[in-house]
Amino acid sequence: MPGLPLSAALIAFSYLFGSMPMGLIIVRVVAGKDIRAVGSGRTGGTNAMRAAGFLPGVLTAFADIGKGFVAVWLARQLAPSGSHVLEALCAIAAVAGHNWPVYLGFKGGAGTSPNVGAAGAFWWPALLIMIPSGAAILFGTGYASVASTAISFGLIVIFALRAILEHQPVEYVGYAAVTFVLVALALIPNYRRLIAGTERLVGPRAKSASPGGADVVRPK
């Protein structure tokens, strides 16, 4: 692992970069709305879709994917000694920043998109696996929390298999396990609503369940 000052700076940058509220910015520009007053109040792609429609939701998701990707990529560029531990810590920091952003009073998203972005930086085919499968789960079930949980667990499986079968860095398995916990912590309110049968729907199931597809608005 590189020297402590450089490592600490990269981890701090990853957290601050991950904290950037892309959903808040995109929804504000496109629809003039405050994403925090719509649906779950989160700043990720799913709530951006609720607040401003499909395209802003997709743009937010890909912008958030970029946050995780850039965090790992930058660690590799500035600390080219092959420190897998540092790469994993930067990925974790980006997801933590997205979930608990310093810019928004530590109230952000659920971490799925930056998690996928970081996984893509570790192994690019992960993007080809997780983006379409995550979208299929999301629109099939209508529950973003189910899709997020499945994706974060799937990353553990992917990197564990790669570590076992292809002798890839075990640090990436650790990254996937920690980010699974971070995603799950952010989704605790959603799990409670799932159990109670009151979890919010998204996509086609939301439209069929609620005529007109009206947004659920909560006070700030």
CA atoms of 69 and 3, how far apart (whole Å)? 22
Reported pTM: 0.89
**Three-class SS of residue 29?**
helix
Hey, what are 172's tokens?
A: 């990436």
**Predicted pLDDT of residue 40:** 83
**Predicted pLDDT of residue 207:** 63
**Predicted pLDDT of residue 46:** 87
Residues 6+ apart with CB under 8 A from 214: none
Structural domain containing residue 26: 4-209
Answer whether residue 24 is part of any domain.
yes
Which one, of 218, 202, 205, lies nearest residue 44 by Cα? 202
Answer whether residue 198 is part of any domain.
yes
Answer whether residue 214 is part of any domain.
no
Answer whether residue 218 is part of any domain.
no
**Predicted pLDDT of residue 104:** 93
Answer whether residue 219 is part of any domain.
no
Residues 6+ apart with CB under 8 A from 113: 44, 45, 60, 61, 62, 64, 65, 67, 68, 98
Answer whether residue 71 is part of any domain.
yes
In this prediction, the residues of the chain whose per-residue pLDDT falls under 50 are 211-220
Residues 6+ apart with CB under 8 A from 151: 112, 115, 116, 130, 133, 134, 137
Number of domains making up the chain = 1
Answer whether residue 151 is part of any domain.
yes
